[in-house]
Copies of this chain bind each other. A is one copy, B any other.
Amino acid sequence: MPITITAFAQSPDRGRGLARDMRVRWALEEVGQPYAVRLLSFAEMKQPEHRALHPFGQIPTFEERGLALFESGAIILHIAESHAGLMPANGPARARAISWMFAALNTMEPPIVERSLSWLVERDKPWFAERQAMLDERVRVRLGELAGHMGEASWLDDGFSAGDLLMVTVLRRLDGSGLLDAFPTLTAYVARAEARPAYQRAFADQLAVFARAQAGNPFTPPN
């Protein structure tokens, strides 16, 4: 039985690779594992069938031979532990890569998601501009700390890891905000990751889903 993941039938990001299935696609491409995709409408995501897989009714999920996982971070960790290519073999380096995975999802992502969410649900409110400035500053502090850590390095630690994969998908959520522009270290870091063949295959695959949906013909790609 192949790996099956879930993704949006109609991604709200319009194929920009910002939905969280992109992380899982990219990781599977990095380790060279084929997978199938089950596309879900927003209504289907909230049905009991899907909630049995994902209690919070979200995507992505991951199924393989009786194993069913949810949360992109846990799925990436499982893939990185099961196949070579995303995690150093050396104990301390492996533990540091995992520190960066959690840093991406628990330290960097929350203020970045909050900023997008504010734009989504508060942009007609009288307080929007003042709050957006506060949120921008929170994000900027974190970006400065991350750039300070990286210095001249290519990746967060020794060699590309699952920590980089998650961090780059988080930073990409700032596309269009202009916030990354003040940190050339970080724009170069994101570009370096996006140039990886595995990233490009994953990006093309998620974009194809969106393009087919636009053409009124969504279906599960064979991959």
Chain A contact residues, CB within 8 Å of chain B: 51, 55-58, 66-74, 77-78, 91-92, 95-96, 98-99, 101-103, 105-107, 109-110, 113-114, 121-122, 125-127, 130-131, 134, 142, 145-146, 148-149
Q: Which chain B positions have C-beta within 8 A of A57?
A: 145
**Given known contacts A78-B95, A121-B134, A142-B56, is B103 in contact with A105 (CB within 8 Å)?**
no
Given contacts A55-B149, A66-B92, contact A110 B113 (CB under 8 A): yes
| Bound CA span A92–B70, Å | 12
Nearest CB in chain B: distance from A10 CB, A:
21
A70 nearest CB neighbor, chain B only: B99
Q: How far, in Å, is A80 (CB) from chain B's closest CB?
A: 11
Task: Find chain B residues with CB under 8 A from A121 CB.
Answer: 134
> How many identical chains are in the complex?
2
At the interface, is chain A mostly helix, strand, loop or mixed?
Answer: helix
Q: Pick from A67, A102, A130 the residue with the most CB of B within 10 Å.
A: A102
Tell me the smallest distance from the CB of A218 to a CB of chain B, in Å: 26
With CB as the reference atom, state the residue of chain B lying closest to A134.
B121
| A145 pairs with B56, CB closer than 8 A | yes
With the chains together, A131 CA to B134 CA distance in Å?
15
Pick the contact of A92 from B51, B67, B145 — CB < 8 Å? Answer: B67
Evaluate whether A96 and B71 lie within 8 angstroms (CB atoms) in the complex, with A102-B105, A113-B110 already known: no
Q: Are A110 and B103 in contact (CB-based, < 8 A)?
A: no
Contact A99–B69 (Cβ < 8 Å): yes
Chain B residues positioned under 8 Å from A142 (CB to CB): 56
- The interface residues of chain B lying within 8 Å CB-to-CB of A103 are 55-56, 70-71, 74
The smallest beta-carbon distance between A82 and chain B, in angstroms, is 10
Q: Which residue of B lies closest to A121 (CB)?
A: B134
Q: Which residues of chain B are near A98, meaning CB under 8 Å?
A: 69, 74, 77-78
- Chain B residue numbers with a CB within 8 Å of A101 are 74
Residues of B near A56 (CB, < 8 A) are 103, 107, 142, 145
Of A101, A106, A121, A142, chain B has the most CB atoms within 10 Å of the CB of A106
Apart from the given pairs A110-B114, A127-B131, 17 other A-B contacts in the complex at a CB distance below 8 Å: A55-B145, A55-B148, A55-B149, A58-B107, A67-B91, A67-B92, A69-B95, A70-B103, A71-B106, A71-B107, A74-B98, A78-B95, A106-B109, A110-B110, A114-B114, A125-B130, A126-B127
